């Protein structure tokens, strides 16, 4: 009654080609690896253009941020200027205010930044961060940042 089944040994997988490709891939990745994740924040010099005088019903946003060591003043409007002062630590409140402004002026993309010459670069970057990429919005708030060299309060 013995059935003459021969137990077949499973054939061994040939891993050589896959190992070759993995090694090549590793070398490629090692050569192109950058262990510090660097990104960029864009800014541009103010551009001049001749604007035709058009009657605008809505007052333009003209968003300006004045950054000092202790406070951030958000100024808006041209005909009826408004300003709101925040303490430097109130990053969340600034973001909420800017989100509200973006809802009112969805086409505006420019933000003028006036900073105290004594503030550190890290402080400036933190302020810029608080004005960009809120999680609740898909698009950035005011991605075009223009630095005003006149300084704060001028």
The residues binding other proteins (CB under 8 A) are 15, 19, 22-23, 25-26, 29-30, 32-45, 47, 115-122, 124-126, 128-129, 132-133, 147, 149
- Please identify, using beta-carbon distances, which residue of 23 and 81 lies nearer to other proteins: 23
Q: Please, are residues 140 and 132 in contact by the beta-carbon 8 Å criterion?
A: yes
Cα(96)–Cα(89) distance, integer angstroms: 14
Least distance CB 5 / other proteins (angstroms): 25
Least distance CB 125 / other proteins (angstroms): 4
Q: Please, are residues 114 and 95 in contact by the beta-carbon 8 Å criterion?
A: no
- Please identify, using beta-carbon distances, which residue of 106 and 117 lies nearer to other proteins: 117
- Please identify, using beta-carbon distances, which residue of 77 and 124 lies nearer to other proteins: 124
- Please identify, using beta-carbon distances, which residue of 44 and 104 lies nearer to other proteins: 44
Q: Report the C-alpha dihedral over residues 128, 130, 132, 137, rounded to 10 degrees.
A: 180
Structure-block tokens of residue 137: 């919005």
Least distance CB 3 / other proteins (angstroms): 30
Cα(112)–Cα(66) distance, integer angstroms: 9
């Amino acid at each position: 009654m013995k059935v003459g089944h021969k137990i077949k040994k499973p054939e061994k997988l040939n891993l050589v080609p896959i190992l070759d490709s993995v090694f090549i891939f590793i070398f490629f990745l090692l050569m192109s690896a950058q262990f510090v994740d660097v990104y960029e924040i864009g800014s541009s010099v103010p551009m001049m253009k001749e604007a035709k005088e058009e009657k605008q019903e809505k007052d333009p946003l003209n968003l300006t941020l004045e950054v000092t060591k202790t406070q951030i003043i958000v100024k808006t409007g041209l005909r009826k200027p408004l300003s709101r002062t925040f303490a430097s630590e109130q990053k969340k409140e600034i973001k909420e205010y800017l989100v509200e402004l973006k809802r009112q002026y969805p086409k505006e993309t420019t933000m003028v930044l006036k900073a105290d010459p004594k503030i550190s670069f890290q402080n400036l970057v933190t302020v810029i961060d608080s004005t960009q990429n809120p999680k609740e919005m898909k698009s950035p708030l005011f991605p075009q940042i223009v630095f005003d060299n006149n300084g704060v309060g001028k």
